[in-house]
Structure 1
Amino acid sequence: MRLHKLQKILEEKNLKCAIISNTASIFYLTGYDYISTDIGNFVALVYCDGVPTLIVPLLELYRAEEKIKDIDVVAYSTTFTGDKIIKGNLKDAIFSYVHQNKIGLDIQNTSSTFYNYFNKYEIVDLSKDLSLLRAIKEPEELELIKKAGEITSASMKIAQDKLTNSEVSEKQLAGIIDMTMRSEGAEDYAFPSIVAFGENSAFPHHVPTDKIIKDGQNAVIDIGARYNNYCFDSTRTFIKGNNLEIKKIYEIVLEAQIEAIDRARDGVKAAEVDLAARNIIEKSGYGKYFIHSTGHGVGIEVHEYPPVSPTSDAELKENMVITVEPGIYLKNKFGVRIEDTIIITKKKPIVLETTFKYL
Structure 2
Amino acid sequence: MNKLRKLQTILEDKKEACAVIIGSPNLFYFLEYSGVGALIYCDARFTLLAPALDMYRASNVKDVDVLIYYPSKIAENVIEGNMFKAIEKVINEKSNILLDVNWVDANTYKTLSEKYKISDISNDIIKLREIKDEDEIEKIRKAGEITSTAMKIGMERLTEEVSEKQIAGIIDMTMKSAGAEDYAFPSIVAFGENTAYPHHIPTDRVLMNNDIALFDIGAKYNGYCFDSTRTFVFKNNEAKKIYEIVLQAQLEAIDAVRDGVTASEIDNIARKVIEKAGYGKYFMHSTGHGVGVEIHESPAISMNSKQVLKENMVITVEPGIYLKGRFGIRIEDTLIVTKGKPIVLETTYKLL
TM-score band, normalised by the shorter chain?
over 0.9
AA partner of residue 13 (structure 1) = K
Does residue 306 (structure 1) correspond to residue 309 (structure 2)? The answer is no
Partner residue of 2:341? 348
Query: Deviations 1:273-302 (Å, cap 9, x if unpaired)?
Result: 111111111111111111111111001111
Counterpart of 1:135 (choices 117, 130, 152) is: 130
Counterpart code for 1:123: I
| 2:194 paired residue number | 200
> Could you tell me which residue of structure 1 aligns to residue 67 of structure 2?
74
1:52 counterpart (41, 46, 59)? 46
Could you tell me whether the CA contact under 8 Å between 2:191 and 2:206 is conserved in 1? yes
Summarize the alignment of residues 1-80 of structure 1 with structure 2, pairs less than 5 Å apart: 2-34=3-35, 42-66=36-60, 68-80=61-73
- Determine the structure 2 residue equivalent to 1:146: 141
The reply to whether residue 123 of structure 1 matches residue 124 of structure 2 is: no
2:172 is the counterpart of 1:171: no
In 2, Cα distance between equivalents of 1:311 and 1:13: 29
Q: Which residue of 2 aligns with 1:107?
A: 101
Q: Return structure 1 stretches of 4+ with deviation > 4 angstroms.
A: none
The CA distance in 2 between the partners of 1:27 and 1:83, in whole Å, is: 28
C-alpha separation in 1, matches of 2:246 and 2:149: 24
Quick check: 1:19–1:105 contact (8 Å CA) kept in 2?
Answer: yes
Q: Give the CA deviation at 1:128.
A: 1.1
Shift of 1:166: 5.4
Q: Does the residue aligned with 2:207 lie in a helix, a strand or coil? A: coil
Pick one of 232, 235, 240 that aligns with 2:229: 235
Match of 1:260 among 253, 256, 270: 253
Q: Which amino acid aligns with 2:77?
A: K
**Deviation, structure 1 residue 358:** 5.4
Q: Displacement, 1:167?
A: 3.1
Equivalent position SS for 2:175: helix
Match of 2:59, SS state, is helix
SS in 1 for 2:310: coil
Q: Distance in 1 between matches of 2:129 and 2:88?
A: 27
User: Secondary structure in 1 aligned to 2:316?
Assistant: strand
* TM-score, normalisation: structure 2: 0.96
Partners of 2:73 and 2:227 in 1: CA distance: 42
Q: Report the identity percentage.
A: 58
Distance 1:344 1:103 in 2: 34
CA distance in 2, matches of 1:98, 1:306: 33
Secondary structure of the 2:113 match is coil
Name the aligned partner's letter for residue 314 of structure 1. Answer: Q
Alignment match of 1:159 (pick from 143, 154, 175): 154
Structure 1: which 5+ residue stretches go unaligned? 35-41
SS in 2 for 1:282: helix
SS of the residue 1:201 aligns to? helix
AA in 2 matched with 1:177: I
| CA apart distance, 1:26 | 1.3
Aligned mates of 1:44, 1:136 — CA distance in 2: 23
User: What's the CA shift for 1:168?
Assistant: 1.2
SS of alignment partner, residue 118 of structure 1: helix
Partner Cα separation in structure 1 for residue 76 and residue 324 of structure 2: 60
Q: Distance in 1 between matches of 2:151 and 2:198?
A: 18
Instruction: Indicate the SS of the match to 2:62.
Output: coil
* Structure 1 CA distance for aligned equivalents of residues 77 and 174 of structure 2: 41
Alignment-mate amino acid for residue 112 of structure 2: F
- Between the aligned partners of 2:77 and 2:129, the Cα distance in structure 1 is 30
Unmatched 5+ residue regions in structure 2?
A: none
Q: Say if 1:105 and 1:126, in contact at 8 Å, map to a contact too.
A: yes
Q: Distance in 1 between matches of 2:7 and 2:63?
A: 16
Q: Whole-Å Cα distance in 2 between the matches of residues 16 and 91 of structure 1? A: 17
Cα shift readout 1:198-249 (whole Å, capped 9, x = no counterpart)? 111111111100111112221110000000011000000002x300111111
State the SS of the aligned residue for 2:90: coil
Indicate if the aligned counterparts of 2:160 and 2:206 stay in contact, CA closer than 8 A.
no
Contact kept, 8 Å, 2:160 with 2:208, in 1: the verdict is no
* Structure 2 Cα separation of the partners of residues 95 and 357 of structure 1: 56
The residue type paired with residue 248 of structure 2 is: E
Render the CA deviation track for 1:114-166: whole Å, top value 9, x for unaligned: 11122242222111111111110000110000000000000000011001x45
Q: The residue matched to 1:226 in structure 2 has which SS?
A: strand
Which residue of structure 2 lines up, in the alignment, with residue 180 of structure 1? 174
Give yes or no for contact 1:73–1:84 (8 Å, CA) kept in 2.
Answer: no
